[in-house]
Structures are given as structure tokens and as C-alpha cells.
Amino acid sequence: MISSDDWLPPFLSVIAGIVEVMGYLTLGNLFTAHITGNLVTIAALLVRGGPLSLAQILAVPVFMVALAAMWLIAEATRRRGPALVRPLLLVHFALLSGVLICSAISDPVAHPQGRVASFTAMIAVCAMACQFALLRLGVPGAPSTAVMTGNLTNSVLSLLDTLSGKHPLTEGADERLKKTSKLVVGFFAGCVLGAAALSLMGPWAWSLPVVLAGAAVARPGTGE
């Protein structure tokens, strides 16, 4: 049976792409996982002027608090490594379900700067923080499923090392290329799927990452 180390990061990268694009398009141009983008936006608005939304202000501290909460869950359950994967996937699924419920009850697109949209955005931010923590704590050494700059850099350099036929500049180029290229492709595919789902389903498009997160929880061998 394929271990979580092999299938989970690419699978989660698809979910991250879906959540990132749908969050940006429906929750006030907020990056739910790309903290760098939120910091850039906040800094630009502070210097050049312009209204900051509540979600933009809260995104970074909420992400940090959510990470701390995942660490506390790990401590409370006394689990380490792969044994943590399924419990944190359940939290991930529950948080994405919360985003779906809030979006279905009160379409945040209609009022992207409103309190309901901000609350929904913070649940999405927590879901992505959970995904980051899940990989760091449950699948040590796995590449990031949401920050593609590093993955694209590794993919290009590993590809050049592989094709050069000479002594590679970095070790393990072949394996690294396989891992990171899958994540880049998966994330982009998730972005396309998310944008298409929004066009076809409106706020119910959030059911797509919920279904995928549920499938990850239910998959036999998860956490092994």
C-alpha cells in the first residue's frame, strides 16, 4: 500500500490550490495560505493608502494561532509523526466544512468586506494553517503544498541537474524533481478546478475541497 508520504502531499496541493483561488475570488482578495502575499498587501496599503479589510488584518495572527492550536492538539493526543495525520485531516475537513456552511448560508461574494465574509475567510485561513501543520508534524520532510515558489525552484534546478548528465550540483535531484513537480502541477490544477467550480456552482463550489478532504480522511492507510 502506498504510504501517506507519497500520495498525501500531491493530493493536498490540489486542495490548497482550490482553496487559495476560491478564497481570493470570494473572500475579499485574501490569500488563505500565502501569508507572504497578505503581508505584501498590508504593507502596500499602509504606505500608499487604502482601506484594509478586517480579514487582511486578522489573516496573519489567526494563521499563527491556528498553528499553535494544531500543536496543542498534537500534544493533547500524544501522537507523533504519521499517527497525527488522520486526526489533523479530520480537523482540516471540519474547518473546510465550516467554510462551505458559511458560504452557503450567506454568500460572501455579495459583501466581501462584511463580517460574515471575514469570519468565513478566517475559517479558511485556519484550514490552511492546519494543512501546513499536518505536513510539518505528520509528514516530516514533505514539500509545501501551498507555497509554489520553492517547489518551482527545486523542480527547475533538479530538472537541470537530471538532464546535465554530469555530476549534479545537488544530491537526490531525481527524487526531488518527482516530488516537487507533482505539487506544482497539483496546485495549478486545483486553482483551475476552483475557478471553474465557482463559475458553475457559486458558493456551493466550496463543497469540492470538502469532498476531497473527506476522501483523504477516509482513504485506507492514511497515517501509516
Phi-psi region of 68 (alpha: psi -120 to 50; beta: other; left: phi over 0): alpha
The per-residue pLDDT string of the chain (224 residues; one tens digit each, 9 = 90 and over) reads 456 667 899 999 999 999 999 998 888 778 888 778 778 877 887 787 777 777 878 888 999 999 999 999 999 988 888 888 999 999 999 999 999 999 988 888 777 677 888 899 999 999 999 999 999 998 888 888 888 888 888 888 888 888 876 676 777 777 788 888 899 999 999 999 999 999 999 989 999 999 999 999 988 766 65
**Cβ–Cβ < 8 Å for 191, 20:** yes
Q: Which three cell numbers stand for residue 150?
A: 520553492
Closest CA to 12 of 115, 151, 203: 151
Say if CB 222 and CB 89 are below 8 A apart: yes
For the chain, domain boundaries: 4-218
Residues 6+ apart with CB under 8 A from 6: none
**Does the domain spanning 4-218 belong to CATH 1.10.3470?**
no
d(CA 181, CA 110): 37
Q: What is the pTM of this model?
A: 0.88
Q: Which three cell numbers stand for residue 74?
A: 498534537
Cβ(133)–Cβ(69) under 8 Å? Answer: no
Indicate the helix (H) or strand (E) that contains 155.
helix 148-164
| Look-up of cell digits 533538479 | 158
